[in-house]
Structure 1
Amino acid sequence: MISPSDRALAVELIREANQNGARLALACKELNISVRTYERWVAEGGIKEDQRPLAQRPETKNKLTQREREEILEVVKKEEFADLPPTQI
């Protein structure tokens, strides 16, 4: 993930190179990003921030319930399992 300040700098450098005659594809390639990525970043007139950290992700279907988690912790804390790795408990 690229920081907002690095993203802004990359956009600035690409715009400068493009205004000085460099092709957009070559300017993007120099910074190891695709033209499509650059276009997404500058869509709607500004520089978009990364939206991935803000995304709402559903819980996985195989996630343990709180009750299951507590039961597992009870078992692994028993004295008889103290010296065993999780794969052998």
Structure 2
Amino acid sequence: MKGATMLATLQELGIVPSFSRPSVSNDNPYSESVFRTLKYRPEYPEKPFSDIGEARTWVNGFVQWYNTEHRHSGIKFTTPQERHCGKDIEILAKRKLVYKQAKLESPSRWSGDIKNWDHIKEVDLNPEKGKSEIKECKAV
């Protein structure tokens, strides 16, 4: 498929194309991270969608799963919905208590401290080395 044909197809389907800067792999690290997660889902389609409606249905299902079920390592294995609603604070506090109790009951199974389950206020994705650029997590 030629570039002009692809652009025409996108316009015909009502899709506005967006282009990253050339040779910049982390132009938008948030979208790159979501795209990788999307591609590695077991439900990722093997064949092209038959129409834009089918594509939208699949993507809507993925977004629902991503926001309400998928536990993100960057926010201490809670979901974005739990974080957005403020439920992550209670979840992390309970998790911390469970780990402390487990260590008290079987200290020989622990070689060091328990995992850090403290709530984090700020999240940074793909930080540049030597530069601490921290962005405030804002409600959507």
**Fold similarity call, TM over 0.5:** no
Give the number of the structure whose alpha-carbon radius of gyration is greater.
1
TM-score, length-scaled by structure 2: 0.22
Q: Normalized per residue, which structure has more helix?
A: 1
TM-score, length-scaled by structure 1: 0.32
